[in-house]
C-alpha cells in the first residue's frame, strides 16, 4: 500500500475542509464559528514544521522534497495571517453568514496551491492551478457591494479560463514534442525544437496570466479593487506568490536547454512589467488599485531573480517573496480595517492618518518603505539578493534599466506616505478607531516580519540549503 | 564585534528616552544627551587612535570588527577606522552636537523630529565606520531617508516640486550607486574565488582596470549627486530651503560631505585606474560647482540659503582637493572639512538665536 505520509499537508487540509463543511451544515445559521477554521489551520501549520520524508508518489505524479515542504510552510503561515486579519470582517456585520463559506473556499484554494507545489506532472500542476483559481472567484464575490463583487468574481473566472486555455495548449505542444509530461522525464529531454519552444511560450503565457505580468495583466487592478480585501490579499500574496515560486522552480529545472530563450523573454517581460506598473501606480486614486499595480511591479522584480538562473537566484526569489508577502499583508490588513471601520478606501482618505491612528499609519509607512526597497527593511534585502543574483551573471544592462524604475516606484510610495503624514488644520479623513485584537495581532506579525526578516540571515541560508533539493 | 559599533548603537538607543520623554523639552534634553555621549565617545576613540599608534600606522585600519550577515552573499557588517575615518567622525559628531542645539521652530511632533534626527546620526556614523559595500549603501540610505520625514512631508504644495525633486535626485543617485556597488562586488576577487563586499579584500586584490572604468563613473555619479557635484548641485539650495535650521545644519555640515568621503573611500581608494580616467572631468565639474556655489552664496539674501550655497561650493572644493590625489592635499581637505562641519551649524544657530537673516 502506498505510504501517504508524504501527502500529510494535503490530507490534513482536505480533512479540515470536510470538518468545516460538516460543521457549517449542522450549525445554527447566523452563528459565527470563526475560531474553527482558525484553529484547524493553526494545527496544520504547527504540524507542517515536523520533518517530512522525501517521497515520489503515484509513479512520479506527486513529489515530496525539502523545498516543497518549505514552500508549503511559507504559504500556510501566510494564509494563517490572512485568516487572522479577516477575523474582524468575518465576525461581524452583514457578512457573518458567509464566514464558513469564505474559510472553506480559502482552504480549498490553499489545497490547490499545495498540489501545484508538489506536482511531478503537468497534469497535476494544471489541476492544482485550477483548484487554486476557481475558489478565488467565490471568495472575491462574497459580501458587501454585490454588483461589484460579483463582477470581480466573473473577472477572476474569465482571467483563469484564459490562463488555463493557454497553458493547456502549451502542455499539449510539449506532450506532442516530448512524449511525456512527467517532470522527471522532461528534465532529461533536450528541448530546442520549434514545437517545444512554442509549448514553452504558451506555458509561460498561462503563468504570466496567473502572475499578472504585462501584457497579461488586464483586469488585475479591477479584480483587486472590487474584491473583498481578504480575498484580494489571498490573490496578491498566496495565489500569485505560488505561481511565481512554481515558475521559478519549473523554468529552472525543466527548461535548462533553452536558457537564452527564456532569459531574454523574461528580461523583456520584467522590464516592461516593472515600468508599466510603476507608471500606472502613479495615477491611482484607490488604495487597493494602487497596491494591485505596485505588486505587479514587485512581481517584475521577482522575475528578475529568475533570470539569474542560479541556486542563489532561486533562494533570492523565495526570500524576496517572503519580504513582499509581509509588506503587502501589512498594507492590505490596514486597508481592510480602515475600510471596515470607516468605509473609506481612497488614497486621499489616508490624509492625516498618522495623526488620528498613529500605529496603523506607521505600519503602512513601514510596509510601503519596505516595498520601495529602503534599507534596513526587509524589502531592501529581498531586492539586493535578487539584483546580486543577476549581477553575478553580468546582467548590468538589466539593472540599469531597473534603476529608474526604483525611483518611479519610490516616488509613488512616497506620495502615499506623504498623504499619511500630512499635517494641517483640517480634520483627518479617517477618525480614530480601536481595532480588534485579531487585526492588531495580524498587523504586528506583518510589521515585525517586514522589519526583522532583513536581519534574519539564517532564513536565507535555510532556504538556500533546501533549494538544493529541487 | 568592534567598539565602533557604539557609534551606531548610542544614537539608536537614545531614541528610547526620547520616545519615553513626557514633553518636547525632555525629548530635546534626551537627544542632546545622546549627542554629547557620541561626541565624548568620538573624542575618546580619537585620543586612543592617535596616542596609541605611530603616525606611520595612521592609514591602517584599527578597531576592526566583523559580524556575518548573509553568509551565502559573503555579506558582513565590518567596521574599522583609519585616521581619515576618525577625523570624519569628529566632524560628524561635532556638527550633530552643534546642530541639535538649534531650536526647532515647529513644536508639533518634536519627538518624531528627534527620533528621525538620531536615526540620521546613526546612519552617518555607520556610513563612516563601515568597511563593507552593502553596509555603506545601507547607512547611506539611513543617513538620507529621515530627511523625508524631517521636512519633506511638511512642505507646502507650492514648494513641493522642488523639494521632492531634490529628494528624488538624491535617491536616484543612491540607486545608481547600488548598481556600481554590485559591479564592484562582481569584480571584487580573481575568477573562481568567492565574491566579496569587503573593502579591505577588494583593496588587496585591485579590480581589473576595465571594470574600474565601467563602475567608477556609476559610484562617482552616486556620491557626486550627494556631494553636490556640478551639475547635480543646481537643485540643492532650493530643495532644502524649507528644511528646519537644525536639519539644514546637519545636512550641509556632514551628510553632504559623505559624498566626497565615499568617493575617496570607494573610488580613489579601490578603483585608482577608474579615478585616474575620471579625475580631469571631476576637477572641471568641481571647479564649476565651486564657482556656481560661491556666486549663489553671494547673491543669497537669507542665511539658510547662503550657507546652503556656500556648502555646495565647499563640497565641490572638497571633490577638487580629493581628486588631485595628493596625500597632503587630502589631509588638508579633511581638516577644512572638520572646520566647515562645525562652522555651518554654529552660523545657523547664531542666525536662529539672533533672528538676523543675513
Q: Best interface-test mutation with B: which of A318, A399, A455 has the largest number of B CBs within 10 A?
A: A399
Q: Cβ of A388 and B185 within 8 Å?
A: yes
Extract the C-alpha cell encoding B132: 563593507
Q: Give CA–CA dist A161/B9, Å, rounded.
A: 55
Buried b (16+ CB within 10 A) or exposed e, A368-391: bbbbbbbbbbbbbbbbbbbbbbbb
Work out whether the CA dihedral A287, A289, A295, A297 comes out positive or negative. Answer: negative
- For residues A122 and A181, is the Cβ–Cβ distance under 8 A? yes
Packed helices B24-52 and B83-100: angle between N→C axes, nearest 10 degrees: 160
- B134: chain A residues, CB-CB within 8 Å: 384
Q: Tell me: the pLDDT tens digits for B164-214?
A: 778 888 888 999 999 999 999 999 888 878 889 999 999 888 889 999 999
Q: What are the backbone angles phi and psi of residue B195, rounded to the nearest 5°?
A: -65, 155
Per 3-state DSSP, chain B is made up of helix, strand and coil in percentages (nearest 5) of 75, 5, 20
Q: Tell me: the pLDDT tens digits for B216-249?
A: 999 999 999 888 888 877 777 666 667 778 888 8
Can you tell me the mean pLDDT for B293-322?
Answer: 86
**Per residue, what are the HEC states of A54-84?**
CEEEHHHCEEECHHHHHHHHHHHHHHHHHHH
Q: Give CA–CA dist B197/B187, Å, rounded.
A: 10
The whole-chain average pLDDT of chain B stands at: 86
Quick one: DSSP state of residue B279?
H
Can you give the pLDDT of all 470 residues of chain A as single tens digits? 667 788 888 999 999 999 888 887 776 655 556 788 888 889 988 888 887 778 888 888 898 888 888 899 999 999 999 999 988 887 765 455 677 788 889 999 999 999 999 999 999 999 999 999 999 998 888 876 678 888 899 999 998 999 999 999 999 999 999 989 999 888 888 888 889 999 999 999 999 999 989 888 888 899 999 888 899 999 999 999 999 999 988 888 888 888 888 888 999 999 999 999 999 999 999 999 999 999 999 999 998 888 877 777 888 889 999 999 999 999 999 999 998 888 888 998 888 888 888 899 999 999 999 999 998 899 999 999 899 988 888 888 888 888 889 999 998 998 899 889 876 666 777 778 788 888 889 999 999 999 998 887 788 877 877 765 44
- For residues A339 and A347, is the Cβ–Cβ distance under 8 A? no
Q: Give CA–CA dist B358/B344, Å, rounded.
A: 14
Q: What is the pLDDT of residue A94?
A: 47
Buried b (16+ CB within 10 A) or exposed e, A314-331: bbbbbbbbbbbbbbbbbb
- B152: chain A residues, CB-CB within 8 Å: 414, 418
Q: Is the peptide bond before A215 cis (omega within 30 degrees of 0)?
A: yes
Q: What is the pLDDT of residue B215?
A: 92
The beta-carbon neighbor of A414 closest among B141, B148, B154 is: B148
Q: Give CA–CA dist B146/B161, Å, rounded.
A: 18
Q: What is the pLDDT of residue A115?
A: 94
Q: Is the peptide bond before A376 cis (omega within 30 degrees of 0)?
A: yes
- DSSP notation for A229-259: HHHHHIIIIIIHHHHHHHHHHHHHHH-TT-H
- B182: chain A residues, CB-CB within 8 Å: 387-388, 391, 396, 399
Shortest CA distance to B139 belongs to which of B124, B149, B154? B124
Q: Cβ of B70 and A460 within 8 Å?
A: yes
CA distance B149 to chain A (A): 8
Residue count of chain B, please give it.
358
Q: What angle do CA B211, B213, B219 make, to 5 degrees?
A: 95
Q: What is the pLDDT of residue A106?
A: 93
Extract the C-alpha cell encoding B170: 538624491
* Complex confidence, ipTM: 0.91
Q: Cβ of A385 and B70 within 8 Å?
A: yes
The beta-carbon neighbor of A460 closest among B72, B168, B186 is: B72
Secondary structure class of A49 (helix, strand, coil)? coil
- A385: chain B residues, CB-CB within 8 Å: 70, 73
Secondary structure class of A190 (helix, strand, coil)? coil
Residue labelled with grid coordinates 498613529: A358
B357 pLDDT tier (thresholds 50, 70, 90): low
The beta-carbon neighbor of B108 closest among A403, A423, A464 is: A423
Q: Give CA–CA dist B248/A278, Å, rounded.
A: 31
Q: Cβ of B168 and A392 within 8 Å?
A: no
**Is the pLDDT score of B352 beyond 80?**
no
Q: What is the pLDDT of residue B127?
A: 95
- A374: chain B residues, CB-CB within 8 Å: 141, 145
Chain A residue with the nearest C-alpha to that of B215: A396
Give A119's strand partners: A62
The beta-carbon neighbor of B179 closest among A380, A403, A460 is: A403
Q: Cβ of A418 and B73 within 8 Å?
A: no
Residue count of chain A, please give it.
470
Q: Is the peptide bond before B184 cis (omega within 30 degrees of 0)?
A: no
- On the CB side of A254, CA atoms within 13 Å amount to 26
B50 pLDDT tier (thresholds 50, 70, 90): confident
The beta-carbon neighbor of B69 closest among A315, A400, A457 is: A457
For chain B, the residues whose C-beta falls within 8 A of a C-beta of chain A are: 68-73, 75, 108-109, 134, 137-138, 141-142, 145, 148-149, 152-154, 164, 167-168, 171-172, 175-176, 178-179, 182-183, 185-186, 195, 214
Q: Best interface-test mutation with A: which of B72, B108, B160, B165 has the largest number of A CBs within 10 A?
A: B72
The beta-carbon neighbor of B141 closest among A375, A414, A464 is: A375
Work out whether the CA dihedral B289, B292, B297, B300 comes out positive or negative. Answer: negative
Q: Give CA–CA dist A278/A281, Å, rounded.
A: 5
Q: What is the pTM of this model?
A: 0.93
DSSP H helices, A348-455, are: 353-356, 358-372, 378-392, 396-421, 437-452
Packed helices A311-342 and A358-372: angle between N→C axes, nearest 10 degrees: 150
Amino acid at each position: 500500500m502506498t505510504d501517504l505520509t508524504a501527502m500529510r499537508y494535503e490530507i490534513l487540509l482536505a480533512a479540515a475542509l470536510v470538518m468545516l463543511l460538516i460543521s457549517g451544515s449542522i450549525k445554527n445559521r447566523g452563528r459565527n464559528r470563526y475560531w474553527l477554521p482558525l484553529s484547524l489551520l493553526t494545527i496544520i501549520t504547527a504540524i507542517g514544521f515536523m520533518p517530512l520524508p522525501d517521497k515520489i508518489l503515484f509513479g512520479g505524479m506527486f513529489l515530496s522534497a525539502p523545498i516543497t515542504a518549505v514552500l508549503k510552510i511559507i504559504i500556510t503561515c501566510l494564509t494563517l495571517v490572512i485568516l487572522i486579519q479577516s477575523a474582524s470582517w468575518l465576525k461581524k456585520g452583514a457578512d457573518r453568514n458567509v464566514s464558513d463559506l469564505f474559510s472553506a473556499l480559502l482552504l480549498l484554494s490553499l489545497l490547490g496551491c499545495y498540489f501545484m507545489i508538489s506536482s511531478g506532472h503537468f497534469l497535476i500542476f494544471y489541476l492544482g492551478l485550477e483548484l487554486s483559481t476557481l475558489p478565488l472567484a467565490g471568495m472575491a464575490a462574497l459580501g458587501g457591494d454585490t454588483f461589484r463583487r460579483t463582477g470581480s468574481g466573473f473577472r477572476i473566472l474569465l482571467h483563469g479560463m484564459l490562463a488555463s486555455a493557454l497553458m493547456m495548449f502549451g502542455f499539449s505542444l510539449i506532450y506532442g514534442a516530448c512524449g511525456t509530461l512527467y517532470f522527471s522525464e522532461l528534465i532529461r529531454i533536450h528541448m530546442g525544437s520549434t514545437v517545444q519552444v512554442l509549448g514553452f511560450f504558451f506555458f509561460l503565457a498561462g503563468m504570466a496570466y496567473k502572475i499578472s505580468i504585462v501584457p497579461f495583466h488586464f483586469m488585475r487592478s479591477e479584480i483587486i479593487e472590487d474584491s473583498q480585501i481578504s480575498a484580494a490579499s489571498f490573490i496578491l500574496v498566496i495565489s500569485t506568490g505560488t505561481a511565481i515560486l512554481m515558475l521559478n522552480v519549473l523554468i529552472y529545472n525543466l527548461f535548462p536547454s533553452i536558457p537564452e530563450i527564456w532569459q531574454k523573454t523574461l528580461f523583456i517581460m520584467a522590464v516592461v512589467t516593472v515600468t508599466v506598473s510603476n507608471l500606472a501606480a502613479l495615477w491611482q486614486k484607490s488604495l487597493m488599485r494602487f497596491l494591485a499595480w505596485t505588486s505587479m511591479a514587485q512581481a517584475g522584480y521577482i522575475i528578475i531573480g529568475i533570470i539569474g538562473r542560479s541556486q542563489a537566484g532561486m533562494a533570492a526569489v523565495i526570500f524576496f517573496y517572503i519580504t513582499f508577502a509581509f509588506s503587502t499583508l501589512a498594507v492590505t490588513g490596514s486597508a481592510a480595517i480602515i475600510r471596515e471601520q470607516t468605509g473609506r478606501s481612497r488614497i486621499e482618505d489616508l490624509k492625516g492618518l498618522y495623526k488620528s491612528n498613529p500605529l496603523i499609519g506607521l505600519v503602512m509607512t513601514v510596509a510601503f518603505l519596505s516595498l520601495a526597497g529602503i534599507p534596513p527593511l526587509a524589502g531592501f534585502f529581498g531586492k539586493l539578493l535578487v539584483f546580486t543574483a543577476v549581477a553575478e551573471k553580468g546582467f548590468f544592462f538589466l539593472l540599469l534599466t531597473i534603476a529608474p524604475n526604483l525611483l518611479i516606484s519610490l516616488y509613488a510610495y512616497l506620495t502615499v506616505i506623504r498623504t499619511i503624514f500630512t499635517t494641517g488644520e483640517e480634520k483627518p479623513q479617517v477618525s480614530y478607531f480601536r481595532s480588534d485584537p485579531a487585526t492588531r495581532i495580524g498587523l504586528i506579525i506583518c510589521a515585525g516580519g517586514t522589519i526583522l526578516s532583513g536581519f534574519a540571515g539564517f532564513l536565507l541560508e535555510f532556504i538556500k540549503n533546501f533549494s538544493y533539493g529541487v | 564585534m568592534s567598539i565602533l559599533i557604539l557609534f551606531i548603537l548610542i544614537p539608536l538607543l537614545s531614541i528610547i528616552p526620547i520616545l519615553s520623554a513626557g514633553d518636547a523639552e525632555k525629548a530635546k534634553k534626551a537627544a542632546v544627551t545622546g549627542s554629547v555621549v557620541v561626541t565624548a565617545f568620538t573624542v575618546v576613540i580619537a585620543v586612543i587612535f592617535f596616542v596609541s599608534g605611530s603616525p606611520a600606522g595612521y592609514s591602517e585600519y584599527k578597531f576592526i570588527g566583523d559580524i556575518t550577515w548573509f553568509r551565502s552573499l559573503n555579506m558582513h557588517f565590518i567596521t574599522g577606522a583609519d585616521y581619515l575615518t576618525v577625523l570624519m567622525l569628529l566632524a560628524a559628531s561635532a556638527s550633530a552636537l552643534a546642530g541639535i542645539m538649534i531650536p526647532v521652530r515647529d513644536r508639533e511632533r518634536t519627538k518624531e523630529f528627534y527620533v528621525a534626527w538620531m536615526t540620521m546620526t546613526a546612519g552617518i556614523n555607520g556610513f563612516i565606520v563601515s568597511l563593507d559595500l552593502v553596509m555603506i549603501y545601507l547607512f547611506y540610505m539611513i543617513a538620507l531617508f529621515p530627511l523625508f520625514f524631517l521636512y519633506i512631508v511638511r512642505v507646502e504644495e507650492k514648494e513641493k516640486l522642488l523639494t521632492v525633486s531634490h529628494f528624488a535626485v538624491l535617491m536616484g543617485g543612491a540607486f545608481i550607486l547600488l548598481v556600481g556597488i554590485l559591479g564592484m562586488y562582481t569584480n571584487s576577487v580573481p575568477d573562481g574565488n568567492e565574491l566579496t563586499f569587503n573593502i579591505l579584500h577588494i583593496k588587496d586584490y585591485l579590480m581589473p582596470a576595465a571594470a574600474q572604468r565601467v563602475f567608477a563613473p556609476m559610484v562617482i555619479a552616486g556620491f557626486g549627486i550627494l556631494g553636490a557635484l556640478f551639475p547635480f548641485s543646481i537643485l540643492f539650495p532650493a530643495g532644502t530651503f524649507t528644511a528646519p535650521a537644525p536639519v539644514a545644519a546637519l545636512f550641509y555640515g556632514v551628510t553632504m560631505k559623505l559624498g566626497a568621503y565615499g568617493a575617496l573611500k570607494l573610488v580613489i581608494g579601490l578603483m585608482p585606474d577608474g579615478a585616474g580616467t575620471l579625475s580631469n572631468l571631476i576637477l572641471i565639474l568641481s571647479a564649476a560647482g565651486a564657482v556656481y556655489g560661491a556666486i549663489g552664496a553671494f547673491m543669497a539674501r537669507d542665511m539658510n540659503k547662503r550657507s546652503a550655497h556656500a556648502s555646495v561650493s565647499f563640497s565641490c572644493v572638497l571633490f577638487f582637493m580629493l581628486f588631485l590625489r595628493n596625500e597632503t592635499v587630502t589631509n588638508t581637505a579633511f581638516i577644512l572639512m572638520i572646520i566647515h562641519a562645525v562652522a555651518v551649524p554654529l552660523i545657523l544657530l547664531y542666525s536662529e538665536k539672533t533672528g538676523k537673516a543675513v
